């Protein structure tokens, strides 16, 4: 019964903390998911995380190549960049929270040694790790692992995560929403992994439900103190499916920094497409809201303003 007892990888670059590492890990899974197996390992090499425990993930079926992990990495990078901005916005309103998404390190299997199949004896799912197969390496999150979108989550944590999801939609001008936050909380730090992103283009893999996923989020989302003043998809007068141009992005033109601004000042509600704008009060004009040129002489609708400034808006969106 010659079988695997230890596995080693080639070196990879850690984008979060710096350094180059290779890892050795046990051949029997620490966690079992529907599509992936997770193995406990140790980081070796040069860098601040040398000697730390890590989690090595492999697909249950087949021999994964580097491109098979692309969506995982893209989701982590997008969520990480949005979390950085969200943390800044929360700090400006006096809330000390720190959302941290870790970027998976992709490494190639280098060496597989053989001995007795411990996984078989323990009744674990069997997978023969192959040389040249790609796996992902993430920090081992020590502590209570939680689904922060669960109804069992503490109220404050749930408010933060729901506000973050809402914020991601505003920050990307309606392009995507980040959901499915899972991980470990340590004081003000939330160490998060495997986010789900729903995007209008459906660009983030099999868990990306596209516009339907965004619609479903807002159908179930209840705004809280952190996000109730942010624009909502169901408050806009025109939805993405109603036209071929980015009316959503047009209506969210001022969304950059709106999280903090709306907490501190009374910014007018975004006018619905088609609503009449009375230009005898410039502060209520949709042109003023989107910083578009307007003579303030006649009554007009926000839909008309969009049509007039169509090329200007499209150029700004690019």
CA 193 to mean position of chain CA atoms: 9
pLDDT of residue 292: 56
pLDDT digits (tens, 9 = 90+) for 202-214: 999 999 999 899 9
Rounded to whole angstroms, the Cα distance separating 27 from 32 reads: 13
Q: What's the confidence (pLDDT) of residue 307?
A: 55
Rounded Cα distance between 9 and 134, Å, is 9
Q: Which of 21, 2, 45 is nearest to 135 (CA)?
A: 21
Q: Which of 100, 17, 109 is nearest to 57 (CA)?
A: 109
Confidence (pLDDT) at 267: 30
Burial level of 83, CB count in 10 A (0-12/13-18/19+)?
Answer: buried
**pLDDT at residue 122 in the model:** 52
pLDDT for residue 304? 54
Which of the residues in the chain have pLDDT under 70? Answer: 1-5, 113-127, 151, 234-318
- Confidence at residue 220, expressed as pLDDT on a 0 to 100 scale: 92
pTM of this prediction?
A: 0.73
**Residue partners of 165: CB distance under 8 A and separation at least 6:** 177, 178, 179, 181, 217, 221
Reduced to 3 states (helix: H, G, I; strand: E, B; else coil), residue 135 is: strand
Q: Which of 86, 263, 237 is nearest to 162 (CA)?
A: 86
- What residues does 15 pair with on adjacent strands? none
Helix 155-171 × helix 210-220 angle, to 10°: 140
């Amino acid at each position: 019964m010659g079988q695997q007892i230890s596995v080693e990888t080639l070196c990879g670059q850690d984008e979060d903390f710096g350094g180059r590492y290779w890892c050795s890990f046990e051949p029997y899974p620490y966690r079992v998911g529907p599509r992936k197996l997770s193995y406990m390992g140790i980081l070796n090499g040069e860098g601040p995380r040398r000697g730390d425990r890590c989690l090595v993930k492999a697909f249950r079926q087949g021999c994964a190549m580097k491109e098979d992990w692309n969506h995982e990495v893209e989701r982590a990078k997008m969520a990480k960049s949005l979390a950085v901005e969200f943390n800044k916005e929360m700090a400006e309103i006096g809330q000390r929270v720190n959302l941290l998404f870790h970027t998976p390190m992709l490494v190639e299997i280098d060496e597989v040694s053989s001995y007795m199949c411990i996984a078989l004896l323990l009744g674990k799912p069997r997978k023969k790790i192959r040389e040249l197969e790609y796996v992902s390496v993430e920090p081992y999150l020590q502590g209570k692992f939680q689904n922060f979108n669960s109804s069992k989550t503490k109220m404050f944590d749930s408010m933060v995560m729901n506000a973050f999801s809402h914020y991601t939609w505003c920050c990307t001008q309606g392009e995507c929403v980040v959901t499915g936050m899972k991980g470990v909380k340590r004081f003000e730090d939330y160490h998060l992994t495997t986010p789900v992103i729903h995007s209008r283009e459906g660009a983030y893999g099999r868990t990306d439900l596209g516009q339907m996923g965004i619609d479903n989020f807002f159908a179930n989302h209840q705004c809280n103190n952190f996000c109730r003043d942010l624009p909502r998809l169901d408050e806009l007068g025109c939805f993405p499916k109603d036209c071929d141009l980015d009316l959503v992005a047009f209506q969210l033109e001022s969304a950059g920094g709106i999280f903090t601004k709306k907490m501190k000042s009374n910014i007018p509600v975004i006018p619905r497409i088609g609503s009449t704008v009375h230009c005898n009060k410039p502060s209520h004009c949709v042109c003023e809201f989107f910083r578009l040129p307007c003579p303030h002489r006649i009554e007009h609708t926000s839909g008309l303003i969009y049509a007039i400034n169509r090329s200007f808006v499209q150029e700004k969106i690019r």
